[in-house]
Chains A and B, each alone.
Chain A
């Protein structure tokens, strides 16, 4: 039984810094996983903006008919402040498009939101973005929040404390890998033993 399909860790600017898959189903190549990670980063930011109340920290659980996606975001923010798109300005954007014939993309550029990248998913609205950890698992798999918490702790212990690990860069730490497999293994045993 493969309850957990895959695990992603995304850095503060939406780059994939760790990816591991555990099931044969849904295996992804490097490019796909990178793309999915940066898309998720953007969707997560948009979900914060969609919230009618302030203080929303973004999507925590995505339920689909074939999988669940649990996401945990650390509270630490980027060192360089970045801009959040104010979606209340959508009207203004539409007007801009109508009057100038320029696209919304150029409106973003005008506002200095885009740093020159091509696609919407690169919009720099990473305002409250911390490091994101997410697991894709079978629908209804329990204890995923606590597993993500454990993974976060492992990350602080074996990645951040490694003096040779550069912040925000891809994680290549053997100790992290070993302890991570143990944690996932333990979780699987707990699932089977239920």
Chain B
């Protein structure tokens, strides 16, 4: 079988089963609302949303790989582009752009112009600290953690047989329309990966 090239986000999105956007938006809204009622603290809700996203991400990444035919990315830059162009399109139907790279290519911003999660949302004064879309940052973090790091990502200081480690990232919101900014901006920062030290055990 000839190798199949990566499919575009639009093509996959066209073939995905879809639900009514309002049902999706309202379900998410109800979830956030319920979390606020249950947990009371806005910070706790942020944490919980991130954790929920993480749990989704570690499963979703397989579907992404299965349906997009994306093969291994060469570096973190390509990874970010693929998330923005293919991932967001495929699952949310929106396109994102990647900007604000730092000098060593380990930190960037994913900017969303449009965000179906927030269609009817106005943050009340009591919830000013809430990152309403925190589930998205969790999804990205979870998905990246499941993708193995290959040699080209590796730092020379790490022995080659330890290169295969997952991509640990920190994902934070920089801009949020609900908080009065002009777009949604997620900062994705690759955390330098230091392989775990294994306990040295002697037989004797």
Contacts and interface: CB of A to CB of B under 8 A. Distances in A.
Given A75-B148, A78-B166, A161-B59, A153 B200 contact: no
Interface stretch (A31-39, A106-114, A173-181): A106-114
Contact of B1 (A83, A85, A146, A152): A146
Contact of A83 (B66, B72, B145, B161): B161
B164 A84 contact: yes
A97 interface: no
B148 A130 contact: yes
A30 B195 CA distance: 36
Interface in B34-58: 58
A127 B86 CA distance: 27
B91 to A, nearest CB: 12
A109 B166 CA distance: 24
Contacts of A194: none
A171 B168 CA distance: 28
The contact size tier of chain B is: 35 or more
A127 B164 contact: yes
A75 B64 CA distance: 11
A77 B149 CA distance: 8
Interface in A87-112: 102, 106, 109-112
Interface in B88-112: none
Nearest to B202: A110
Most buried by A among B59, B62, B147: B62
Interface residues of A, number: 36
A54 B201 contact: no
B110 to A, nearest CB: 21
A76 B66 contact: no
Nearest to A80: B196
Nearest to A75: B65
B194 to A, nearest CB: 10
B120 interface: no
B165 interface: yes
Interface string B157-189: 001111111100000000000000000000000
Given A83-B162, A110-B202, A156 B58 contact: no
B65 A55 contact: no
Most buried by A among B1, B65, B66: B66
B59 A160 contact: yes
A161 to B, nearest CB: 7
B115 interface: no
B50 to A, nearest CB: 16
Contacts of B164: 77, 81, 84, 127-128
A157 B63 CA distance: 7
Most buried by B among A75, A145, A161, A167: A75
B66 A149 contact: yes
Contacts of A153: 63, 66-67
Nearest to B154: A54
A156 B91 CA distance: 14
Contacts of B71: 75
19 contacts: A55-B72, A75-B72, A76-B62, A76-B147, A77-B146, A77-B148, A79-B58, A81-B196, A106-B203, A112-B199, A127-B163, A127-B164, A153-B63, A156-B62, A157-B63, A160-B59, A160-B62, A160-B63, A167-B59
Interface of B: 1, 58-63, 65-67, 71-72, 145-151, 159-166, 195-196, 198-203
